[in-house]
Amino acid sequence: MRVLPFVLAISGAAILLGSAVSQRPDAAGPGPFGPLRVGDKVTLREKQGRYEFLLMPKLDGGSHTVVELAKDHIAVEDIARVNRTWIPVTSVQAVTKFQLGQ
């Protein structure tokens, strides 16, 4: 009978830990923004109302920083942290990740 509270406590802790780990918001997903994560520096190109995000992980440059990722939009902030732009997923043409020096 003394083992039951211990088993319940361990089971509850495992469930809480499992749900916390499985819901990481910064994990890359299979969604439309693929390899992008909050905090990434990207170069943003706009052509006829469509946006292309260029991600170059080995270079410490980029004109914008990703500040918010959602299923239906992405928010980026310019390098001076003056302008924040929310771009709907329907306006994204491409997300390109360059693999330099493999």
12-26 confidence digits (pLDDT tens): 777 766 665 555 554
| Rounded mean pLDDT, 68-84 | 90
Give this prediction's pTM: 0.64
Asked, for residue 5, whether it belongs to a domain, the answer is no
| Rounded mean pLDDT, 22-44 | 72
Asked, for residue 1, whether it belongs to a domain, the answer is no
Inter-residue long-range contacts of 7-14, CB under 8 Å, 24+ positions, other chains counted:
none
Asked, for residue 2, whether it belongs to a domain, the answer is no
Comparing 20-24, 61-65, 72-76, which segment has the lowest mean pLDDT? 20-24
Evaluate whether 98 touches 54 at the Cβ level (below 8 Å).
yes
Asked, for residue 86, whether it belongs to a domain, the answer is yes
Asked, for residue 63, whether it belongs to a domain, the answer is yes
Mean pLDDT of the chain: 80
The vertex-29 CA angle with 88 and 81, nearest 5°, equals 50
Residue 39's domain spans which residues? 29-97
